[in-house]
Amino acid sequence: MQRLIITTIQTALNWEDKQANLEMLEDKIMSIEGKTHVVVLPEMFSTGFSMKPIALAETMEGPSVAWMKRIAKEKNIILAGSLIIQDGEDFFNRFLWVLPNGQLGVYDKRHCFSLAGEDEHYTAGNKRTIASVGGWKINLQVCYDLRFPVWARQQIQQDPEKEAAPEYDVLIYVANWPEKRIHAWRTLLQARAIENQSYVVGVNRVGDDGNGLHYSGNSMVIGPLGEVIYEKSDLEDIHSSTLERAYLDEVRKNFPFWMDGDNFLIV
């Protein structure tokens, strides 16, 4: 697939009100006109960034995951975003990648935000997830993960039967990143694109949450040279961006910095 269309939904969220958020987001998703392959929602899109998993968590068989599967099927899209999920005795900030046929991939947020006590309520994930669609490889990450570049670093695929290649083509961050630290958000998203020579998509929320934090959004789509393709601040917005395989391949061919990267192992 030479072109990958990703639609970002930057929106305010109803604090800890799952039904209101699902209804609101369904209206927004169904309003998308034209072709899109992937629709990306913010972090904890059904609740806001809440530290009440005991009250708000659902299992993978719960209504919010069922809602994602239904919307993905009806709209014929991949639907992506994170939810509060209980798995066994543990609670996770879990990024779901839901296909139209009901299959899904999961990524559990690795870096829990200790400044807000997330590490006291949620279990950290221990592995990365690289999803795929139409030949595009997509690295799924959540909010605070952005501050830890090793976790997102390209690892060169060394298959003796194929040419060496970067591990992924698109890096997606879903977030609830407050306005007071938005400079770091914008700067680090561009840095991840430059150092990994990949597209980067960052989807943040807007508005105020139940803790009095304000969010300016600044959702972004960034090209593999660090150039800003799309950015929106302060306002709710639904935007579709077309990522070009030919351009990505050209950048990597003309500037093969990725081939000189260090070999390393994440343990």
pLDDT at res. 157: 73
How does pLDDT run across 76-105, given as a tens digit for each residue?
Answer: 999 999 999 999 999 999 999 999 999 999
**pLDDT interval class at 158 (50, 70, 90):** low
Which runs of consecutive H residues, i.e. helices, occur in the chain?
A: 18-30, 53-56, 63-75, 118-121, 149-152, 182-196, 245-254
User: Residue holding tokens 């500037």?
Assistant: 255
How does pLDDT run across 198-247, given as a tens digit for each residue?
Answer: 999 999 999 999 999 999 999 999 999 999 999 999 999 999 999 999 99
Strands 237-244 and 214-222: unpaired
Encode 73-87: b = buried (16+ Cβ within 10 Å), e = exposed.
eebebbbbbbbbbbe
Which helix (DSSP H) or strand (DSSP E) does residue 2 occupy?
A: none
pLDDT at res. 159: 65
Active site residue 43: yes
| Closest to 193 (Cα-Cα) out of 133, 254, 257, 134 | 257
- Residues 6 or more apart whose Cβ sits within 8 Å of residue 63: 18
Report CA torsion sign: 108, 113, 118, 124: positive
Residue type (1 letter), 85: I
- Candidate list 16, 43, 118, 179, residue with the active-site label: 43
Residues in the chain: 267
How does pLDDT run across 4-30, given as a tens digit for each residue?
Answer: 999 999 999 999 999 999 999 999 999
- Candidate list 18, 69, 143, 179, residue with the active-site label: 143
Active site residue 109: yes
Active site residue 236: no
- Candidate list 16, 18, 69, 109, residue with the active-site label: 109
235 DSSP 8-state letter: S
Instruction: Kindly list the structural domains of the chain, giving each domain's residue range(s) and its CATH number in brackets, ordered by start.
Output: 3-258 (3.60.110.10)
